Amino acid sequence: MASPRTDGRVKTAVLAGSVISAGMAAVVLLRRNTAYRRVAERERLDADGDGVPDVYQRPGGR
């Protein structure tokens, strides 16, 4: 059997690991969302105002 002192250290280590993992996941999600937001903005851009997003048109209008 583990001593109460060891139990407390294990609980603290598990809690610390969980907090660190949650923080890392938040950073990854924030970066991913920023990248997806940029992609979505590029897909919505219609500089010539013809109603078709520029990403779906070929250069030179062909």
Structure confidence by residue, pLDDT tens digits, 14-49 = 999 999 999 999 999 999 999 999 999 999 999 888
52 belongs to a structural domain:
yes
Q: What is the DSSP letter of 47?
A: T
Q: Is residue 37 part of a domain?
A: yes
Its pTM stands at 0.64
Q: Which domain holds residue 53?
A: 23-62
Question: Which of these, 36, 40, 17, 39, lies nearest to 28 by C-alpha position?
Answer: 36
Is 28 among the domain residues? Answer: yes
Give a yes or no: residue 2 inside a domain: no
Cα angle, residue 31 at apex, residues 30 and 35 outer, rounded to 5°: 115
| Structure-block tokens of residue 60 | 């030179």
DSSP result, 28-40: HHHHHHHHHHHHH
Q: What is the pLDDT of residue 6?
A: 92
3 in a domain, yes or no?
A: no
> Quick one: pLDDT band at residue 60, thresholds 50, 70, 90?
low
Domain count, the chain: 1
Q: Would 4 be classed as within a structural domain?
A: no
Residue 6 in any domain: the answer is: no
